[in-house]
Amino acid sequence: MHSSDSAALDLPLPLRNFAATRRILLIVLAASIIFPIVFLLGYGYYDYQRRMTDADDIADRVARVADEQAVKVLDLNREISTRIVEMLADSDDDHIRANQKAIHDRLSVIGESFAQVAGITIFGVSGEMLASNRFFPVPAVSISNRDDFTSARAIRPDPYFSLPLFGSVQQTDVFTTSVGRSLNDGRFAGVVSIALKRDYFAGFYRELTNGEPGMSVGLFRRDGGILVREPPSRAGITHARDTAFTEAMRNNELFGRARVLSSIDGVERLLAFRRVGDYPLYVASGIPTSDILSEWRQHYTLIAVITAAPCIAVWLLVLFSLRQLQAQQAAWERWQAEVAMRLSAEASSRQLRRMGALGNLVANVAHDFNNLLMVVSANMELARRKNFNGLEREVLAVERATAGAEALARRLLSVARKQPLKQEPIDLTIWLPAAAGLIETAAGEKVQVKVQVSPDMWRVRADATELEFAIINITVNARDAMPHGGRFVIRCQNVRVTADNVLPDGEYALLAFTDSGEGMSESTARRAFEPLFTTKLSGSGTGLGLAQVLAASEQAGGTARLDSVPGRGTTVRLYLPRYHGPSVAPVNTSADTAGTMAMTQPTRLNPGSILLVEDNEEVAAGVAAVLATFGCDVRHELTADKAFDVLSEGSRFDLVLSDIQMPGRLNGIDLAEKVRGTWPTQRIALMTGYADEFERARHTGVTILAKPFNIEELRELVLG
């Protein structure tokens, strides 16, 4: 191989790592999905915790403010109670009744000074109303059975806070703070009751919540009794029960936070509570967790949408890049395939040119060799007819050498694809077992031969001689690969081929030849079918065996393939296309079928005149000498042009016998066509040693002799 050829074949194709690029894009895609999700989850958790903490802080601040307001009101309320108690001093019920007017005036001044005070009332020992800032004279009202009266008497001088009530005395929605009076001797002297407006507290609580729906602020007794709550509790609910808040009040905790499910309205809240000074009261502020979650969810959704927008853009970009990468990879692979095909085509073209040149050289050598053999063969026949005259032994030796030379010429022409073929249908189930004896002989005694033929084998159409020759070549190669003996197995089966780069899709008969020999290296197997390539010792092989096998398979419409493993053996496979034609044998190229290829001629009993057209004078002399022994009158012309001129001048012959390849304007085929067109009754036959000429000549409809032909074929043509 020339250096330029090697450079062309070894030209490195540009590489691009699409897999690595695709992995990077997929990593980017995964990162653009995972990182935002992790970020959103982390941010969501952090934001949720922050909002819960902020809600706790807000509730605690509101509770502080509510506590400060309650402490101020109640401290003022205590001061009022103290002033009234001091004003009454050691007065009993009668003394208070006697001074009702003065006491009423004093109470009115005190009550009107404070917006939170709904009314101030003084009750006697038995619970009768003695004086009030709202009434003069006081109505006949007794609270002896009320809880605030009995409790204030029991815990005097500590104040008692009643549950909300709509009193018949005050005529407003209030809760009362009641303080029991004692005389100097310690006896119970009655109760001073101050009614505080619930709306005063509720209005303040509404301002604290700033109208936030669901947020609650309330003032509670230690036992859970609800004094004031915003929003108001449902009707009939007077106490908060069984929550962490009520438990904390029972434990007299000063402040705290809790997450509770309210027993008042069933809403879960974050609650902050504080004890109001030293009073048995608590203020509590709560924010619904549903509101916190709703705000958090809205904010989180907005953040997710804002985060998703660029992420979606990145995803679309990556997906678009992946799609583009796929298209680029497909285009890249197509380009690589085209470049590889071009390089392969160029290499194949160079190889074909080399092989063509070699084939032409081999064919020309074989053709000239055939001509020489024709000379030798013709003269040998003449010598035989003259009874050798004492040279029989020498002439027979020359005949044997001639037969070997003819076989070599046939092999050369077969490798060069120039050997004329005699295609015919072959039934492998009969033909291959019949050839087993010949195969065993070629394999030798040390090799065990086994032939396995499927009983339903398809027929093929091939040159039986060429196919037999190919099998013998394979067998000889197998024998040489097993110098110490081995196994040689021939398997024949039907196969269907699809998606093959060489063979068309279809049905084939597969002949597989497997030996257990030494095998071949990869480089040797790659060149095994090259003509003149051999690994045998100099003088031991021609390099034409496997080349002839490939040529015979391809001329039959199939191909040959070889697989080999060093040290384990070689398998050669022949693929021959299935023959679907009739069972009758096709037209042969020998003289026995000349009647179907030429015009029907009456049987000739006597030889006549023959025009021999042959450019090789020695071949012409030998053929003419043989024809003369048949009693023929032979005229020889060196070119087809001169032969046509002779015929044009009016000369007629019983037979025109012409070679195909000749110098001049006309060749043998041209001469046959002109003769058939000008003188239809003129009998003509052609001679050739080339397969391509043979196929073309068949279309002229004349008889064709394939070189080298024997004398009997010539006799049958002339005398038939």
Digit-coded pLDDT (tens) for 662-702: 888 888 888 888 898 899 888 898 888 665 566 666 666 78
467 and 512 within one domain: yes
Q: What percent of the chain has pLDDT over 70?
A: 80
Residue 62's pLDDT is 93
Q: For 501, which DSSP code?
A: S
Residue 271 lies in a domain: yes
Residue 393 has pLDDT above 60, yes or no: no
Which CATH number do you get for residue 492? 3.30.565.10
Phi/psi region, residue 454 (left: phi>0; alpha: psi -120 to 50; beta: rest), is beta
Q: Average the pLDDT over 568-588 and give the result.
A: 77
β-bridge pairing 703-706 and 684-688: parallel
> What are the tens digits of pLDDT across the range 204-223?
999 988 878 788 999 999 99
What 3-state DSSP class applies to 482? coil
pLDDT above 70 (res 583): no
Residue with tokens 């409809």: 701
Question: Would residue 339 count as lying in a domain?
Answer: no
> At which of 291, 321, 338 does a domain end?
291
Token digits for 330?
């497909």
Q: Where does 564-690 have alpha helices with state H? A: 594-597, 617-629, 640-648, 668-678
In-domain check, residue 405: no
Residue that finishes a domain, picked among 230, 261, 291:
291
**97 plus 238 within the same structural domain:** yes
Highest mean pLDDT among 163-167, 388-392, 503-507: 503-507
Question: Do 103 and 183 belong together in one domain?
Answer: yes
Number of H helices, E strands in the chain: 20, 23
Is residue 562 domain-shared with residue 636, that is, in the same domain? no
Q: How many domains does the chain have?
A: 3
Assess if residue 37 is contained within a domain: no
pLDDT at residue number 6? 40
Q: Which of 21-25, 276-280, 472-476, 497-501 has the lowest mean pLDDT?
A: 497-501
| Rounded Cα distance, 436 and 490, in Å | 10
Q: Is the model's pLDDT at 123 over the cut of 70?
A: yes
CATH number for the domain that contains residue 668: 3.40.50.2300
Coil/strand/helix, residue 237? coil
Helix (H) or strand (E) holding 75: helix 18-88
Q: For 343-377, what is each residue's pLDDT tens digit?
A: 777 776 766 666 665 665 566 566 666 666 666 76
pLDDT at 586: 42
Check whether 169 has a pLDDT greater than 80.
no
Q: Which of 549, 577, 605 is the last residue of a domain?
A: 577
**pLDDT at residue 545 tops 80:** no
Q: C-alpha angle with apex 252: 246 to 254, nearest 5 degrees?
A: 100
Residue 393 maps to a domain = no
| Terminal-to-terminal C-alpha distance of the chain | 53
pLDDT of 340 higher than 80: no
157 plus 228 within the same structural domain: yes
CATH number at residue 168: 3.30.450.20
Per the model's pLDDT, the better-predicted residue between 323 and 708 turns out to be 323
In a domain, 361, yes or no: no
- Residue 604, pLDDT > 50, answer no
The closest alpha carbon to 622, from 707, 543, 716, 554, belongs to: 707
Res 557: pLDDT = 85
Whether residues 697 and 548 fall in one domain: no
Co-location of 627 and 478 in the same domain: no
For 643, the domain range is 591-719
The answer to whether 31 and 37 have CB atoms below 8 angstroms apart is: no
Do 131 and 244 reside in the same domain of the chain?
Answer: yes
**CA count, 13 A, side-chain hemisphere, 55:** 26
Regarding whether 529 and 603 lie in a shared domain, the answer is no
Cα 211 to its chain centre, rounded Å, is: 61
**With 50 as the cut, is the pLDDT of residue 585 above it?**
no
Answer yes or no: do 510 and 552 share one domain: yes
65, two tokens = 């403010």
Higher pLDDT, 342 or 574: 574
ω before 566 within 30° of 0 (cis)? no
DSSP helix/strand/coil, 163 = coil
Decide if 385 is inside a domain.
no
Same domain, 497 and 638: no
User: What is the average pLDDT score of the chain?
Assistant: 82
Q: What is the pLDDT of residue 351?
A: 65
pLDDT tens sequence across 508-528: 999 999 999 888 888 888 888
pLDDT band of residue 168 (cuts 50, 70, 90) is low
At residue 468, does pLDDT exceed 60? yes
The answer to whether residue 262 sits within a structural domain is yes
User: How far is residue 649 from each of residues 233, 656, 681, 713, measured CA to CA in Å?
Assistant: 142, 15, 16, 31
pTM above 0.95, yes or no: no
pLDDT of residue 60: 93
Q: Are residues 122 and 270 in the same domain?
A: yes
